[in-house]
Amino acid sequence: QIKGFLFDLDGVIANTSTYHGIAWHQLADELGVKWTDDLGNQLKGVGRMDSLNLILKYGHKENAYTEEQKEYYANKKNENYIHLLDSLDKSQILPGMEEFIKNISDHGYLISLASSSKNSPYVLEKLDLAKYFDQRVDPATLTHGKPDPEIYTRAAEVLNLKPEECIGLEDAVAGIKSINGSGAISLGIGDPRILSEADINFEDTSQVTLENIKKALNLSYL
C-alpha cells in the first residue's frame, strides 16, 4: 500500500532545473568545456561538486584544477544560480504540481523532499510550498549523492515508511536510478526514452494526478 510520496524539486516541482542548466553552461564555457544536451542531462539531479567533476571529466580536464580552485568554481556556479532565482515565484511552479501536492496532502499521504540541492529550502519557501512537506532530507548529511539510493532510502525513513510504501518523483536519470535502488516506485517526468528505467512515466507534470498514477500502476485503489 502506498503511504508516501518522495519528491525531487528541480524539474519536478519547479522549472529551476533550467536555471541550474544555464548556470552550469556558463561555467562550462568559462572552463572551455563544450556544452551539449547530453552533458546537460547527465548533470540533472547530481549534486554541486559531483556536477563540476562530471563537467571536467566530459572536457578531459579532470586533473586540471586543485581542490581549492574547484571550490571556487562550484561557488561561482552557485552565485550565478542564486542570482537567477531572484525573480522566482509561484508562477514558476510546473503545471498541476501545486494541485497534486495539495491533493495528496489532503488525502493523508506523507510527503518528503529528496532534493540534492542545498538551495532547496530557500526555493520551497519562495514557491510557498514548504507547508506541504512533512519532512526533508538535508543533502549535506549524505555520504553519496544520486544516483546512489541513499537520499531516497532516507526520504522514506524520515517519514517512518518503507521505500516500498512510497512513490518517488524524478525528472533525471540519476534520480530514477536512486529511487529504483531504494526500492520505492519510480515515477519519471519527461522524455520516456531518456527516463527508460522509470517504473511509470509521464511526459509532463500536468499528467501527474492520483487517478493517472493509479491507472499506470494498475491499482484498484491508491
Give the residues lining the site for ligand G6P (CB under 6 A): 10, 17, 20, 43-48, 51, 78, 115-119
What does the alpha-carbon distance between residue 42 and residue 72 come to, in Å, rounded to a whole number? 22
Could you say which of ligand G6P, Mg ion, none residue 57 binds, taking C-beta under 5 to 8 angstroms by partner kind?
none
> Among residues 115 and 153, whose Cβ is nearest to ligand G6P?
115
Instruction: Measure the CA–CA gap between 29 and 211, rounded to whole angstroms.
Output: 44
Residue 118 beta carbon to ligand G6P: minimum distance, rounded to whole angstroms: 4
Rounded to 10°, the helix 150-157/173-182 angle is 60
Does the footprint of Mg ion cover residue 8 (CB under 5 A)? yes
Contacts of 207 (CB under 8 A, 6+ apart): 96
Nearer to ligand G6P (CB atom), residue 141 or residue 218: 141
Match 537567477 to its residue by C-alpha cell. Answer: 84
In the complex with ligand G6P, the residue whose CB is nearer, 2 or 74, is: 74
User: Measured between alpha carbons, how far is 144 from 84 in angstroms, rounded to an integer?
Assistant: 27
C-alpha dihedral sign at 155, 126, 13, 53: negative
Q: How far is CA 121 from the centre of its chain?
A: 13
Q: Is 165 near Mg ion (CB under 5 A)?
A: no
Asked if 139 touches Mg ion (CB under 5 A), the answer is no
Our CB check for Mg ion shows the closer of 10 and 150 to be: 10
> Within positions 26 to 85, which residues make up the interface with Mg ion, using CB under 5 A?
45
86 is catalytic: no
Q: How far is the CB of 17 from ligand G6P (least distance, A)?
A: 5
Q: How big is the chain, counted in residues? A: 222
Per DSSP, helices labelled H in the chain are 16-31, 37-43, 48-58, 67-84, 97-106, 120-126, 150-157, 173-182, 210-216
Asked if residue 56 lies in contact with residue 69, where contact means CB atoms within 8 angstroms, the answer is: no
- The answer to whether residue 168 forms part of the interface with Mg ion (CB under 5 A) is no
Please check whether residue 23 is in contact with residue 80, taking contact to mean a CB–CB distance below 8 angstroms.
Answer: yes
- Binding at 52: pick from ligand G6P, Mg ion, none (beta carbon under 5-8 Å per type): none
113 binds Mg ion (CB under 5 A): no
- Binds 78, which of Mg ion, ligand G6P, none (CB < 5 to 8 A, cut-off by type)? ligand G6P
Asked if 38 is an active-site residue, the reply is: no
Q: Which does 20 bind (CB under 5 to 8 A by kind): ligand G6P, Mg ion, none?
A: ligand G6P
- 147: contact with Mg ion by CB under 5 A: no
Residues that bind Mg ion (CB under 5 A): 8, 10-11, 45, 171-172
Residues tagged active-site: 8, 10
